[in-house]
Amino acid sequence: MRNHRVSAIAVFALVGVFSMLLGTVSAHHSRAGVYEPNGKNITMKGVVTEWRWRNPHVFLVWNTKDDKGTLVAWTGELSSITSMVSEGLDRNTFKAGQEVTVTVSPARSGAPQSQLLKVVMADGKAPIDRLGQNIPD
């Protein structure tokens, strides 16, 4: 009887570990249905308001004016901190008040949300340039 109890505990433990691993894997999502496909990119000038350096995704937030002159806060999504560090970015790459020119793949919904493709600083440097690349989810 003791062997059955130990076996049952081992099975429950393995099932628990396996389901935790599956939950972690399935929690990652694709952005393919959220943003417009390549070729429908838009470029705009703006001023950085926030650089959200956090996982699971890093975000740049900037203000820009729409075609009516109204100030609009846009959010641009990037990959994880680990991916950004491997591309040479860090928590100090952007500061509030910096002028930027941003190229994005906009949200299909029309909301001011996007996947960041390129950011050019006022001095002409482009800390983010993913145009023409296969961007990871």
**Tens digit of each residue's pLDDT (9 = 90 or more) over 43-89:** 999 999 999 999 999 999 999 999 999 999 999 999 999 999 999 99
Domain match, 86 and 122 both = yes
Contact predicate 95/48, CB 8 Å = yes
Residue tagged 């002028």 (tokens): 99
**108 pLDDT above the threshold of 50:** yes
Strand partners, 116: 104
- What pTM does this model have? 0.73
In the chain, the number of structural domains is: 2
Domain match, 2 and 68 both = no
Domain match, 124 and 74 both = yes
CA distance 130 to 79: 12
Domain that holds residue 8: 1-29
**33 pLDDT above the threshold of 70:** no
CA distance 45 to 99: 7
Contact predicate 49/64, CB 8 Å = no
| 4 lies in some domain | yes
| Nearest Cα to Cα of residue 56 among 32, 81, 34 | 81
Regarding beta strands 71-77 and 113-121, do their DSSP bridges make them parallel or antiparallel, or are they unpaired?
Answer: parallel
Is residue 123 classed as helix, strand or coil in its secondary structure? coil
Domain match, 79 and 47 both = yes
| 136 lies in some domain | no
Domain match, 22 and 52 both = no
| 85 lies in some domain | yes
Domain match, 13 and 70 both = no
